[in-house]
Homo-oligomer: A and B are copies of this chain.
Amino acid sequence: MTDLVRIPPNLQAVADAAGVHRSTASRALNPATRHLVAGDVAGRIIETARQLGYRRDAIAASLRTGRSRLVGVVVPDIANPVFGPILRGIESALASAGYSCLLANVGRDEAEQMRLVEELMERRVDGLILATARKDDPVLGACLDAGTPTVLVNRAEERERASAVVSDDRAGMILAVRHLASLGHRRIGHLAGPQDLSTGALRREGFVAAIRQLGLADENAWIEAAAYTREAGEVAAAEILSRFDVTAIAAANDLLALGAYRAVAARGLRCPADISIVGHNDMPLVDMVEPPLTTIRISHLRMGEEAARLLLRGIESPGSKPERIVTEPELVRRASTAPPR
């Protein structure tokens, strides 16, 4: 009855109990090296380990091997519905390869971001996934300088110094504008996202390109929202409505689109009767809002999975070329868009 505070068995204890050397026990317990040990001996060791309730110490193993099987995941806001699916995709792909996620939630403050990444490095993460990239991201620079394999997800840089998994934001916005044009809209405004993010900039580019391609009026009818939030969307949408004579708004993001719903209502207009609105992302629940939001669907889950896979490849074979995976967005027609009156 002296096991009140039982000291957990280590490899030495297992080896002693099985009557072999530490090193033999280590080999027997590791599937990758098990073939070096005689079958019966390995069996005995494994059984002894089980009986003693032996649990491998990943920390000690990491110290010796230099690999932590840990990946740092940096997101701008876990509470934002689009990052949930991304995170889940990352987590599941990593878990099935024996890696775990170290989660870091960061604000927009760059110094803070640096501090957090630094802390992840101290923990000797084998790699990093950043969902926070700006168009020219100093944090990414720091990761690369440190020689840590890094992958961007959702947002990317312009230059390709790191692997990235993104949606084709430009094409997505073109899809949105074409849809509006096909309904008969000729005067379309763009509720743009923050221009220092690739999503914001590329979707705006897509907007301009689509307007030109289709020979529509005023490729400059866009306003940049201060952030990807409903509140910022409402403010910017109000400005679009007051400054431009448009019948439709293509928003860079679903939250912005929902903000636009408010601005439209505030002016006594109705969607889609007076103003059509199309979003971007197809977040959970936007099919239930009123009117159900027409939007551009992005598979965030798959993006997360692909990012994890890319990172794992980068970890296995260091020095491999950066790769870019671009997923195809898709138009989801609901009820927030209709022909102009």
Interface string of A232-265 (1 = CB under 8 A from B): 0000000000000000000000000010010000
Binds B, one of A12-20, A33-41, A77-85, A202-210: A77-85
Q: How far is the CB of A5 from chain B (nearest CB, A)?
A: 8
Interface string of A108-126 (1 = CB under 8 A from B): 0000000010111111100
Interface string of A34-78 (1 = CB under 8 A from B): 000000000000000000000111111011000010100100011
Residues of B within 8 A of A119 (CB): 100
Q: How far is the CB of A338 from chain B (nearest CB, A)?
A: 16
> Once the chains bind, are B83 and A77 in contact (CB under 8 Å)?
no
A24 interface residue (CB < 8 Å to B): no
12 contacts between A and B (CB under 8 A): A57-B124, A58-B122, A59-B68, A59-B124, A73-B103, A78-B84, A79-B284, A91-B103, A91-B105, A95-B104, A100-B104, A289-B290
Interface string of A256-293 (1 = CB under 8 A from B): 00100100000000000000000000011110111100
Q: Told that A58-B122, A87-B105, A100-B119 touch, could you supply 9 new A-B pairs with CB distance under 8 A?
A: A59-B62, A59-B123, A79-B84, A95-B105, A101-B102, A101-B103, A284-B285, A285-B286, A288-B289
Cross-chain contact of A104 among B91, B122, B286 (Cβ < 8 A): B91
Cross-chain contact of A285 among B55, B122, B289 (Cβ < 8 A): B289
Q: How far is the CB of A319 from chain B (nearest CB, A)?
A: 10
- Residues of A participating in the B interface, judged by any CB pair closer than 8 Å: 55-60, 62-63, 68, 70, 73, 77-81, 83-85, 87-88, 91-92, 95, 100-105, 116, 118-124, 258, 261, 283-286, 288-291, 301
Residues of B within 8 A of A87 (CB): 78-79, 103, 105
Q: How far is the CB of A70 from chain B (nearest CB, A)?
A: 8
Q: Who on chain B is nearest to A87 by CB? A: B78
Residues of B within 8 A of A78 (CB): 84, 87-88, 91
**Complex Cα spacing A116 to B99, Å:** 11
**Complex Cα spacing A101 to B73, Å:** 10
Residues of B within 8 A of A59 (CB): 59, 62-63, 68, 123-124
Q: How far is the CB of A9 from chain B (nearest CB, A)?
A: 13
Known interface pairs A55-B121, A56-B122, A59-B59. Does A92 touch B79 (Cβ–Cβ under 8 Å)? no
Cross-chain contact of A288 among B55, B79, B122, B258 (Cβ < 8 A): B258
> Once the chains bind, are B55 and A118 in contact (CB under 8 Å)?
yes
> Once the chains bind, are A79 and B68 in contact (CB under 8 Å)?
no
**Complex Cα spacing A291 to B80, Å:** 23
> Once the chains bind, are B105 and A88 in contact (CB under 8 Å)?
yes
Known interface pairs A85-B79, A88-B77. Does A57 touch B290 (Cβ–Cβ under 8 Å)? no
